[in-house]
Structure 1
Amino acid sequence: MAQYTCDGSVGQTWVISGLNVATLPSKWTAPKALSLVPVAAAALPSGKVLVWSAYDRFTFGGDNGQTYTALFDPVAMTSTEKLVTNTAHDMFCPGIANLPDGRIFVNGGSSSTKTSIYDPATATWSVAPEMNRGRGYQGSVTLNNGGVFTVGGSWSGAIGDKDGETWMPNNPWRLNSAIWDDYILTGDSAGLYRSDNHAWLFASANGRVFHAGPSKQMNWIDTTGDGSVTPAGTRAADGDAMNGNAVMYDIGRILTVGGAPDYENQTSTANAHIIDIRSGTPVVRKLTSMAYARAFNNSVVLPNGQVVVIGGQTVPVPFSDDGAVLTPELWDPATEKFQKLAAMATPRTYHSVALLLRDGRVLSGGGGLCGGCTTNHPNVEILTPPYLLNADGSAATRPAISSAPADALLGTTISVSTNTPVSKFALVRMSSVTHSVNNEQRRVPVTFMVGTAGENLVKIPSDPGVAVPGYYYLFAMNAAGVPSVAKVIRVH
């Protein structure tokens, strides 16, 4: 495992295998202990983060009908644990979606057919209809019509035949019998048990979903009725990229990074590609690679369109920190290049998570859940990205949103007041993550004009395939690119 030393955490120079590597100004909080290993996480409209492990705080196995959860407050840096038993659902290795009304939707996992819903308004869990196919390690995503689509997931339940199915509110799951999991398979040497895992899914208009990977084959999926699948080409020269990431950093534009040809024990890549789906026919471009090969990494889009790539391993091995990459990288859409950030204190590999916070920082945590092993990481740490810092590491002056509506209808204009003139606004959808998959996050830059009273008149997109209904962070950015603390807005 590479060795890392430094003399600070802001704009420092790291000595890596004898090389001096300058980093952008950035810093991490000290790790904050939790009562459990956060294998899954979801951002809530309150600004808190819901995290959970399995039936046990530090290990998993079987279907035990309960889940340890906790609410983490990133401002107070405190957490409150709750053992969930009323849904009889072991929510380890599920699909996750952020519903349009702010509830968190969890399907499958160790309890392979179960579905549970968390309501942040009441801090309670409830039972939702069971799926037609038992599954775990599947991909799930919120649709433009408020439903949820899921596909794959042979880790739990029977192996294979994990065809797609769609849930709509107040209805049972509907099997999409023509959306075969065969369309999404990688060539994993372990076979179907691994090859239909962790689908990268992006909702579009009219109930359609773009499948970006991790298989090298991409597809357009129509979830209407029995459904249909239209092949959409491959990611240029990229191969299968299991346990890599895909992030919609701009409208119809997706960054993919890392991954490996097999789920484990194969060398990961440093590959990076842009997939542009705006025309309906995907256009793929290979980018300059990351500095580090990574799998089991997480990626988080920032309000300015930059993407932070966190953690991972050079060779993915579950429950090992060997080859862990401690140095995050920041991808900038303006240059299409990666730059290194300050290294984190804790390896974040298999079973780690990362999410954008309301204040523009990035939470990273977890890894492990392997009983009495040495690689359990029941903690989180928070990254302050470069856009919140001056060159000397001091805090940048931030604009502030003084007023904004709590709700915004698609296709309308909202009035937003700021304490100083600003240059840009962006919506970032609140999201959820487990096992390196976050299909809910997307950044939507929005146009605005200044009104006669100095207010900012911000235009909300009319297409629910662009601004998928749900809760968003609304960020204002000044001329230097420094973001405000976000206002939380429900777009519907």
Structure 2
Amino acid sequence: MVTFFLLALLFILLLLLNSFPAMCQIGREGEWCLLHASIGISAMHMQLLHNNKVVMFDRTDFGPSNLSLPYGRCRYVPSDNVLKNDCTAHSLLYDTGTNTFRPLMVETDTWCSSGSVLPDGMLVQTGGYNDGDHVVRTLAPCNDESCDWVDFPGYLSERRWYATNQRLPDGRIIIIGGRRQFNYEFYPRNSESSSSFWLEFLRETRDDHENNLYPFVHLLPDGNLFIFANTRAISLDYKQNRVVREFPSITADDPRNYPSSGSSVLLPIDENEPIEAEVMVCGGAPRGAFSRAKQGIFDAASRSCGRIKVTDENPSWAMEDMPMPRVMSDMILLPTGDVVIINGAGSGTAGWEIGQNPVTRPVIYKPHGVEDIRFSVMSPATRPRMYHSSAVLLTDGRVLVGGSNPHPYYNFTGVQYPTDLSLEAYSPPYLRPEYDPIRPRIMNINESFRYMQSFWVTFTVLRFLKLSVVSVRIVAPSFTTHSFGMNQRMVVLKTSELYCVGSEEYRVTAIGPSTAEIAPPGYYLLFVVHAGIPSSGMWMKIQ
């Protein structure tokens, strides 16, 4: 009887551990909270949807996960060499409001795949490995348990494994590259784009260990695409299949793409100033680091970051160093316009067992800060996040962090960096309670959100400072995997008058984005930032 009671008590304690946040680590450089000790899968890919749920998924070809499919469901895959009859989930839907999750059924292998969200909010996920390399999968957001993955086998014209997606001004998605794929294609396809289009640049940037997989792709204000691979970058007119210009190679010869795996962001576009587009690329690994790591020689990762204003007449790279070397990190745009660099390793490269020296301290970079002191080192996490980890921005300004599995299978014992199935949230310093008096809280927005259309935002703040420290900005959340946040962008909107409409209540007038090239149609998080402190975001759809 006593044994039964103790077992029951242990079971309840385990449930509590996996259902509620554990003790948070609080510091002046931010706070780390463990949300779940295990969600059952390693979060290799993440996407925040406009119903505040995060889709996460792993791969399907390594055997069982630690999360069962409900209702006795199983997937039967005769071609799978590990587990042909699999009754475990490899994807889930995480509710950020309730801190709960439910398993999803993904039929085909999503290993090292890509994704984007359509203007209507549907997630389109493309490619993968083995039986999934030509597959498109969709997931429509829902607030009950009705939504799940829908597979469209054979939709892609080419094998897309380690490809990159970018949402376009006309609502389509372009899918670029992949392993041994020097081309791109579109979703949805039509009579004019039913096949792939050759891109010689991808062939030219492939070296012995590729280093041009998951190319960094950003939509520029002129409608062309900035594409960075290995150490080189171009501007591509995808409508005419024409390279418009080639930019200078990034200073130093360190490759930046998978498996050297640096990261990149398009810095915020400010509509209050003459339109500029500036790309930032950070981290990576020395040339040859992949081969040497395979032999047990782990080179220090790159600590350099480069910024290039691609809209300049004669653009060039401005280089600066991070406080520490970093490979396999994620760069996430924060509501303030700063960049958090999180996760990763200090030596080696991406790949099975070949990353070393976890970097657990996030770094926050202020693009408009004083040169040479733009980086600030934040509070450390307790868990290493190595190969196959990911991170996304949440509506409340936290950064959700999960994943890390540098092994071909789930491996929890006898290895240096065990598979990590936990889920954490990092709260940057702007979420500290002492900033609550100047933190804006959005009450309502008066209009549907349209291009070039003025609208007002009503917000409250306990201690208002002045108009010059109020801004309105929109963020397109990223599809994050393998150290790159696809489709991530921020636009600082034009603002005009601001006035008091009641006790501690204010109204600011803003103008919707000027073009679809600056902000493609779809769902965005709108933030009000007051004196450097952001509100929580409110979902808006650009019509």
The 1:40–1:171 alpha-carbon spacing in structure 2 relative to 1, beyond 3 Å, is: farther
Q: Does 1:203 align with 2:240?
A: no
Q: Does 1:470 align with 2:475?
A: no
Letter in 2 for 1:274: R
Separation in 2 of the partners of 1:175 and 1:65?
Answer: 34
Name the residue aligned to 1:330: 364
Q: Does 1:486 align with 2:533?
A: no
- What pairs up with 1:422-437 in 2 under 5 angstroms? 423-437=470-484
User: Is the 1:135–1:162 contact (alpha carbons within 8 Å) kept by the matching residues of 2?
Assistant: no
Name the residue aligned to 1:373: 411
How far 1:169 sits from its partner (Å)?
Answer: 6.4
User: Is the 2:254–2:302 contact (alpha carbons within 8 Å) kept by the matching residues of 1?
Assistant: no
- What pairs up with 1:228-243 in 2 under 5 angstroms? 228=243, 230-237=245-252, 239-242=254-257, 243=261
Q: Does 1:167 align with 2:210?
A: no
Q: Does 1:126 align with 2:150?
A: yes
Match of 1:305 among 333, 337, 342: 337
Q: Residue 175 of structure 2: SS of its match in structure 1?
A: strand
Separation in 1 of the partners of 2:289 and 2:187?
Answer: 28
- What pairs up with 1:311-322 in 2 under 5 angstroms? 311-314=343-346, 315-320=348-353, 322=356
Name the residue aligned to 1:157: none
How far 1:262 sits from its partner (Å)?
Answer: 5.2
User: Is the 1:238–1:271 contact (alpha carbons within 8 Å) kept by the matching residues of 2?
Assistant: no
Structure 1: where are the runs of 5+ without partners?
1-7, 12-23, 155-159
Separation in 2 of the partners of 1:484 and 1:65?
Answer: 47
The 1:383–1:39 alpha-carbon spacing in structure 2 relative to 1, beyond 3 Å, is: same
Separation in 2 of the partners of 1:219 and 1:483?
Answer: 34
Separation in 2 of the partners of 1:229 and 1:68?
Answer: 41
Name the residue aligned to 1:107: 126
How far 1:351 sits from its partner (Å)?
Answer: 0.4
Q: Does 1:271 align with 2:304?
A: yes
Separation in 1 of the partners of 2:516 and 2:428?
Answer: 30
The 1:476–1:57 alpha-carbon spacing in structure 2 relative to 1, beyond 3 Å, is: farther
| Percent identity between the two aligned chains | 22
How far 1:125 sits from its partner (Å)?
Answer: 2.8
The 1:389–1:410 alpha-carbon spacing in structure 2 relative to 1, beyond 3 Å, is: same
The 1:206–1:290 alpha-carbon spacing in structure 2 relative to 1, beyond 3 Å, is: closer
User: Is the 1:429–1:472 contact (alpha carbons within 8 Å) kept by the matching residues of 2?
Assistant: yes
User: Is the 2:47–2:480 contact (alpha carbons within 8 Å) kept by the matching residues of 1?
Assistant: yes
The 1:140–1:182 alpha-carbon spacing in structure 2 relative to 1, beyond 3 Å, is: same
Name the residue aligned to 1:139: 164
Match of 2:138 among 114, 117, 120: 117
Q: Does 1:52 align with 2:57?
A: yes
How far 1:224 sits from its partner (Å)?
Answer: 1.2
Match of 1:152 among 177, 180, 184: 177
How far 1:307 sits from its partner (Å)?
Answer: 0.6
Name the residue aligned to 2:239: 224
Name the residue aligned to 1:82: 104
Separation in 2 of the partners of 1:57 and 1:300?
Answer: 31
User: Is the 1:327–1:341 contact (alpha carbons within 8 Å) kept by the matching residues of 2?
Assistant: yes
Deviation string, structure 1 residues 28-52 (Cα, Å, up to 9, x no partner): 0025221211110001001111101
How far 1:279 sits from its partner (Å)?
Answer: 3.6
Separation in 1 of the partners of 2:430 and 2:46?
Answer: 24
- What pairs up with 1:246-265 in 2 under 5 angstroms? 246-251=264-269, 252-260=277-285, 261=287, 264=290, 265=293
User: Is the 1:43–1:431 contact (alpha carbons within 8 Å) kept by the matching residues of 2?
Assistant: yes
Mean CA deviation greater in 24-33 or 451-460: 451-460
Q: Residue 430 of structure 2: SS of its match in structure 1?
A: helix
Separation in 2 of the partners of 1:300 and 1:184?
Answer: 29
Separation in 2 of the partners of 1:417 and 1:395?
Answer: 17
Q: Which has the higher helix share?
A: 2
The 1:458–1:299 alpha-carbon spacing in structure 2 relative to 1, beyond 3 Å, is: same
The 1:57–1:295 alpha-carbon spacing in structure 2 relative to 1, beyond 3 Å, is: farther
How far 1:57 sits from its partner (Å)?
Answer: 5.5
Deviation string, structure 1 residues 56-87 (Cα, Å, up to 9, x no partner): 554997798997211112232221112233xx
Q: Does 1:447 align with 2:508?
A: no
The 1:339–1:226 alpha-carbon spacing in structure 2 relative to 1, beyond 3 Å, is: closer
How far 1:126 sits from its partner (Å)?
Answer: 2.9
Deviation string, structure 1 residues 268-294 (Cα, Å, up to 9, x no partner): 20111112123475432112x111111
Name the residue aligned to 1:14: none
Deviation string, structure 1 residues 189-238 (Cα, Å, up to 9, x no partner): 33xxx33311000013565211133x111011111154546422212335
Mean CA deviation greater in 173-182 or 132-141: 173-182
How far 1:123 sits from its partner (Å)?
Answer: 2.2
Name the residue aligned to 1:5: none
The 1:367–1:339 alpha-carbon spacing in structure 2 relative to 1, beyond 3 Å, is: same
The 1:183–1:411 alpha-carbon spacing in structure 2 relative to 1, beyond 3 Å, is: farther
Deviation string, structure 1 residues 8-30 (Cα, Å, up to 9, x no partner): 9444xxxxxxxxxxxx5311002
Letter in 2 for 1:108: G
Mean CA deviation greater in 433-442 or 222-231: 222-231
Separation in 2 of the partners of 1:437 and 1:140?
Answer: 11
Q: Does 1:284 align with 2:317?
A: yes
User: Is the 2:105–2:149 contact (alpha carbons within 8 Å) kept by the matching residues of 1?
Assistant: no
Deviation string, structure 1 residues 234-281 (Cα, Å, up to 9, x no partner): 123353212111011212122211011357335320111112123475
Structure 2: where are the runs of 5+ without partners?
1-23, 67-78, 270-276, 294-298, 413-417
TM-score with structure 2 length normalisation? Answer: 0.77
How far 1:181 sits from its partner (Å)?
Answer: 5.2
Letter in 1 for 2:90: Y
User: Is the 2:114–2:127 contact (alpha carbons within 8 Å) kept by the matching residues of 1?
Assistant: yes
How far 1:303 sits from its partner (Å)?
Answer: 1.3
Name the residue aligned to 1:404: 445
Separation in 1 of the partners of 2:80 and 2:305?
Answer: 34
Separation in 2 of the partners of 1:235 and 1:74?
Answer: 38
Separation in 2 of the partners of 1:57 and 1:363?
Answer: 24
TM-score with structure 1 length normalisation? Answer: 0.85
Q: Residue 183 of structure 2: SS of its match in structure 1?
A: coil
Deviation string, structure 1 residues 374-411 (Cα, Å, up to 9, x no partner): 321111110110111267xx866521000025841111
Deviation string, structure 1 residues 124-158 (Cα, Å, up to 9, x no partner): 3334561111120111111122111122211xxxx
- What is the root-mean-square deviation of aligned Cα atoms in Å? 2.8
The 1:317–1:105 alpha-carbon spacing in structure 2 relative to 1, beyond 3 Å, is: closer
What number of residue pairs does the alignment pair up? 456
Name the residue aligned to 2:20: none
Name the residue aligned to 2:513: 461
